[in-house]
Amino acid sequence: MSRNQRKSLSGELVRSAIQHSFIKLNPRVMFRNPIMFVVEVGMIITFLLCIWPNAFGGESSRAFNIVTTIILFLTVLFANFAEALAEGRGKAQADSLKQTKKDVAARKLQSDGTVKNVPATDLRKGDIVIVDAGEMIPGDGEVISGLASVDESAITGESAPVIKEAGGDFSSVTGGTRVVSDSIKIRITTDPGESFLDRMISLVEGAKRQKTPNEIALNTVLISLTLIFLLVVVTLPVLSKYVHVSLEVPILIALLVCLIPTTIGGLLSAIGIAGMDRVTQFNVLAMSGKAVEAAGDINTIILDKTGTITFGNRMASDFVPVNGVSIADLAGWAALSSMADETPEGRSVLEYMKKQNLVYNAELAQGSQFIEFKAETRMSGTDLRDGRQVRKGAVDSVKKWVLANGGNVPSDLGSKSDEIARVGGTPLAVAVDNQIYGLIYLKDTVKPGMRERFEQLRAMGIKTIMCTGDNPLTAATIAKEAGVDDFIAESKPEDKIAVIRREQAEGKLVAMTGDGTNDAPALAQADVGLAMNTGTIAAKEAANMVDLDSNPTKIIEVVSIGKQLLMTRGALTTFSIANDIAKYFAIIPAMFMVAIPQMEALNIMRLGSPTSAILSALVFNAIIIPLLIPLAMKGVAYKPMSSSALLRRNLFVYGLGGVIVPFIGIKLIDLIVNLWV
Ligand SMILES: Nc1ncnc2c1ncn2[C@@H]1O[C@H](COP(=O)(O)OP(=O)(O)OP(=O)(O)O)[C@@H](O)[C@H]1O
Ligand SMILES: [K+]
Ligand SMILES: [Mg+2]
C-alpha cells in the first residue's frame, strides 16, 4: 500500500478506533491490562455509589460520585482509544494486502507436460506454475527458467519493476506481485497459509503480536506498583481513624487512580504497536516486536562490503598483464574463465571485452566443464576438454592454486594487485594450470553519504565491522573511505558467524544484513538479522526482518526506530511516575485538611477546595492520556547519542517535566472548576 493511501484512511481510522475503545471496555478484554482494569473496577464501584450513595455506610455526595464515574470512564476509554488507534493502522494495511490476495488463478504444469488452471490457494510446495506478462504470481517461489520484469508495488509500494531470473540472487518471487513483461516458470516454495503475504498480513494485523520481554518486565513493575498503592489506599481508612478522619470510598478510589501509573499503563501497548508500525512504514517487515526492540539495543553492526557499503555492481574495468604477457592473451583466458560465470563480476568481464573490441577463442570452451564461483574457494573458471584448467579469483587463492600445481608467482603480481587494491578495487588473478597471466581490475564505488551514516552510528555508541571476502588491502581502503570502525578481510561465510559469536560472548547485541543463502546461518545467529527481499528464501527465513526495498544500509534506520521505541517507553514511564508527586500535593492535603489543620503547610498548590482538588487531579490524570497519544505514536524526538547521555537527557526532560507539568495542569483545571462551582 502506498504511503498516501495510508494517510487517507486516517478519518476512517479514528472512527473505527472510537468504536473499538468501547468494545475493549469488556472486562474480559480489559483484564489483559491490569492497571486499567483496576480503574474500570473503581469506576463500577463509583457508579454503584451514584445509585446507592450510602452503600458503604458513609455519606458520600451523589454529585461527586457521578462526576468521578464520568472521569474514570473517560480515563479507561482514552487508554482503549490509544491502543485501538495504534492497532488500526496495521489492520487497514492488512485489509489492503488481503485485496491483493483475492482470487488469483494459477497455471500449474502437470506431470504429463500439460497446463491446468487451478486456484492459487490449491498450490503446494514443489508445484510448478507458468506466469506470463500481465498475470499475477500465484505464490512464493523461485524462478526456475526464464527472465521477466515484475511489479512488486503491491508489497513494496515501489512502482519501478524489478528483473527476476533463474539462478543467482534475483530468483525469488513473491505471491501477489505481477509480471509486467515476458514469461517465467516458477517452483512454488510455500504451502497455503504460510506465504510471505500471509505472514505479512498476520504481522501487520497484530494477530500474532505477543508482548516482548521488555514490555512484560515493565508491565510487571507497573503492576507491582499498582498493588503497593492498592495496599496503601486500602489501609489508609484504618490509619485515618486514629486521627479521626473518615475517608469516603469514592475519594479513596480517586486517590488510587491518581497514584497508580495509568498514563504509561494506558499508553504502553500503543507505544509498542506504533514502533512496529514505524518499521513497517519504512518498508521493513519485522517478524516480532522483540526484533525491533533488540535493534534499539544493538552494540555492533556487521556489514558486508560489496553491495552494502559499495554499490556492488563490481565491473571489470581493466586488464593488467604480468610477467610480460600480452593483453590479448590475458583477455582470452579471462573470457574463458567467465563464459559460464553468471555472477555480475563474471558477466562484466565479457561485457568489458566487447566494449574494448577484444576477441577470444570460444571454440576452446566447447565440451568444457564449468567451475562455479564459490565464496569458499574464491575462484571460478573452466576445465577445458584438453585437460587445461582455467581459473580466475581472489589473488591469494589463485596464488595458492598455482603453487599447488607446481607453478610460481610472477614477481610483478604483488605490486600490480596492490595498486588496484589501494584505490579500493578488487583484483582478480587469471591463471591456467601453473601460470598466472595477469589481473582483472574490478571497480566498485563506495555509496555516497556512508561516512556520515557511520559517524551517526558511532555517536550512538554502535561499533561497525565490515566483513568482506576481499583482500586486506582493498578492504582497508574501502573501510577507510567509508569510515567503518573495523574490518575483517578474506572472510569466509563461517567467519561472519564467528565474529557475531565473539561479540555476543562479550555480552553485546549484534545486527547484520545479508541476502545470500550462505548468509543465512549468520542472519539467524545475529540478534537482529535483516534480509533483503531480493535475497534467497533461506536468508529471508533465517532473518527476523526483511527489507522490502532491499537496501542493506536501512539497518541504520531500523536501529534508530528501535532506539526511539525504547526511549519513548522509558520517557513516558518516567513522566508517568513523576506525575505522582504533584498529585500527592494536590490530594493528600485536601483529604486531611479538615481534620488536621497542620496539613495546610502541604497545600502549596492553593487549590480551591478539597473536592475540586481531588477532581482536578483526576481530570488531569485522564486527559494526559489523549494528550500524550501523538507522542506515543510518533515516538519522542531522537538525536544520535550514547545510551547514557540519552538516559540523562530523558530523565531531565521527562522526569522534571513530569513533576512540573501536572502542578501547572492541576492548578489550571482547579481554577476552571472553581469558576463553575
Ligand atoms: N565471479 C567471481 N569469480 C572469481 N572470483 C570472484 C568472483 N566474484 C568474487 N570473486 C573473488 O572472491 C572474493 C570473495 O567474494 P565474496 O562474494 O565472498 O566476497 P566479496 O563480494 O568480496 O565481499 P562481501 O563479503 O563484502 O560481499 C572476492 O573478493 C573476489 O576476489
Ligand atoms: K495515575
Ligand atoms: Mg559478495
Q: What is the pLDDT of residues 503-528, one digit of tens each?
A: 999 999 999 998 877 788 999 999 99
Ligand 1 site, residue 493, Cβ cutoff 6 A? no
Q: By percentage, how much of the chain surpasses pLDDT 70?
A: 96
The answer on pLDDT for 184 being more than 90 is: yes
pLDDT tens digits, one per residue of 227-238? 999 999 999 888
Cell of 5: 493511501
Ligand 1 site, residue 477, Cβ cutoff 6 A? no
Instruction: Consult the annotation and say whether 94 binds a ligand.
Output: no
The residue-averaged pLDDT of 438-463 equals: 91
Atom of ligand 1 nearest to the CA of 469: 19
Q: Following CA atoms 665, 668, 673, 674 in sequence, which dihedral angle do they give, to the nearest 10 degrees?
A: 140
Q: Following CA atoms 43, 48, 51, 53 in sequence, which dihedral angle do they give, to the nearest 10 degrees?
A: -90
Q: Is the pTM of this model over 0.80?
A: no
The residue-averaged pLDDT of 432-445 equals: 95
Nearest 5°: CA angle at 320, between 319 and 322? 140
Ligand 1 site, residue 21, Cβ cutoff 6 A? no
Confidence band for 586, pLDDT divided at 50, 70 and 90:
confident
Instruction: Consult the annotation and say whether 116 binds a ligand.
Output: no
Instruction: Consult the annotation and say whether 345 binds a ligand.
Output: yes
Ligand 1 site, residue 345, Cβ cutoff 6 A? yes
Which of 123-127, 319-323, 593-597 is predicted with the least confidence, judged by mean pLDDT? Answer: 593-597
The answer on pLDDT for 207 being more than 60 is: no
CA 589 centroid distance within chain = 48
Which of 76-85, 188-197, 455-464, 589-598 is predicted with the least confidence, judged by mean pLDDT? Answer: 589-598
Confidence band for 209, pLDDT divided at 50, 70 and 90:
low
Phi, psi (5° rounding) for residue 534?
Answer: -75, -10
Phi, psi (5° rounding) for residue 43?
Answer: -65, -40
Alpha carbon nearest to ligand 1 atom 14, residue:
469
Which of 113-122, 264-273, 278-287 is predicted with the least confidence, judged by mean pLDDT? Answer: 278-287
The predicted pLDDT at position 2 comes to 42
The residue-averaged pLDDT of 535-552 equals: 85
The residue-averaged pLDDT of 654-659 equals: 92
The predicted pLDDT at position 470 comes to 93
Give yes or no: 304 in active site: yes
Helix pair angle (344-355, 327-338), 10° resolution: 140
Atom of ligand 1 nearest to the CA of 466: 26
The predicted pLDDT at position 594 comes to 67
Alpha carbon nearest to ligand 1 atom 24, residue:
468
Ligand 1 site, residue 381, Cβ cutoff 6 A? no
The answer on pLDDT for 4 being more than 50 is: no
From the list 304, 444, 470, 527, the catalytic residue is 304
Hey, is 326 helix, strand or coil?
coil
Give 256 Cα–ligand 2 centroid separation in angstroms: 8
Give 636 Cα–ligand 2 centroid separation in angstroms: 21
The residue-averaged pLDDT of 603-609 equals: 78
Confidence band for 168, pLDDT divided at 50, 70 and 90:
low
Among 19-33, 186-200, 643-657, the range of highest mean pLDDT = 19-33
pLDDT tens digits, one per residue of 274-302? 888 888 878 888 888 888 999 999 999 99
> Are residues 239 and 247 in contact, defined by beta-carbon separation less than 8 angstroms?
no
Helix pair angle (62-101, 610-634), 10° resolution: 10
Ligand 1 site, residue 304, Cβ cutoff 6 A? yes
Give 230 Cα–ligand 2 centroid separation in angstroms: 12
Give 335 Cα–ligand 3 centroid separation in angstroms: 21
What is the spatial distance between Cα 337 and Cα 553, in angstroms, rounded to a whole number? Answer: 33
Alpha carbon nearest to ligand 1 atom 16, residue:
469
The predicted pLDDT at position 169 comes to 63
- What domains appear along the chain, each with residue ranges and CATH number? 11-92+204-280+559-674 (no CATH), 124-191 (2.70.150.10), 284-309+447-548 (3.40.50.1000), 312-445 (3.40.1110.10)
Instruction: Consult the annotation and say whether 374 binds a ligand.
Output: yes
Instruction: Consult the annotation and say whether 174 binds a ligand.
Output: no
The residue-averaged pLDDT of 53-80 equals: 89
**ipTM > 0.90, yes or no:** yes
The predicted pLDDT at position 1 comes to 41
Among 250-254, 484-488, 555-559, the range of highest mean pLDDT = 484-488
Instruction: State the chain's mean pLDDT as an integer.
Output: 88
The residue-averaged pLDDT of 340-369 equals: 91
Give 469 Cα–ligand 3 centroid separation in angstroms: 7
> Are residues 650 and 566 in contact, defined by beta-carbon separation less than 8 angstroms?
no
Are β-strands 379-383 and 389-394 bridged in parallel, bridged antiparallel, or unpaired? Answer: antiparallel
Ligand 1 site, residue 399, Cβ cutoff 6 A? no
What is the spatial distance between Cα 630 and Cα 670, in angstroms, rounded to a whole number? Answer: 25
Give the chain's end-to-end CA distance (angstroms, integer).
52
Ligand nearest to the CA of 587: 2
The predicted pLDDT at position 677 comes to 61
